[in-house]
Amino acid sequence: MTQRSGSADLPLHGGRVPKWLGDRMTKLGAVLCEAIIHHYGRDELLRRLAHPFWFQSFGAVMGMDWHSSGITTSVIGALKRGLNPLSSELGIHVCGGA
């Protein structure tokens, strides 16, 4: 990925992710991560997840797009619920999140 410098305003907000959205994020996140692992490998998935702007964008694609607060917890929690049942197949296990 091309590196650019600059700044972004990611303010804190209150509230929780609705259950219906959390369920959709779990399904979509698992499918997207599964595809990345199958096409590019586990290391590439981890590299992408470690990139802050890619991660923020990934959360928006998964549906967490109305604000920036809690995106790490929400996305990691959704990935944990979606990927851990497939951990032996994919060779990855997710910890953290809510």
pLDDT in tens, 26-48: 999 999 999 999 999 999 999 99
> Residue 91 and residue 59: Cα distance in Å, rounded?
22
pLDDT in tens, 71-98: 899 999 999 999 999 999 999 999 988 7
| pTM of the complete model beyond 0.95 | no
Predicted pLDDT of residue 67: 67
As a whole number, the mean pLDDT across the chain is: 91
Q: What is the chain's Cα-based Rg?
A: 14
**pLDDT grade for 12, boundaries at 50, 70 and 90:** confident
3-state secondary structure 45-86: HHHHHHCHHHHHHHHHHHCCCCCCCCHHHHHHHHHHHHHHHH
> Residue 14 and residue 36: Cα distance in Å, rounded?
32
CB 34 within 8 A of CB 86: yes
Predicted pLDDT of residue 1: 66
Length of the chain: 98
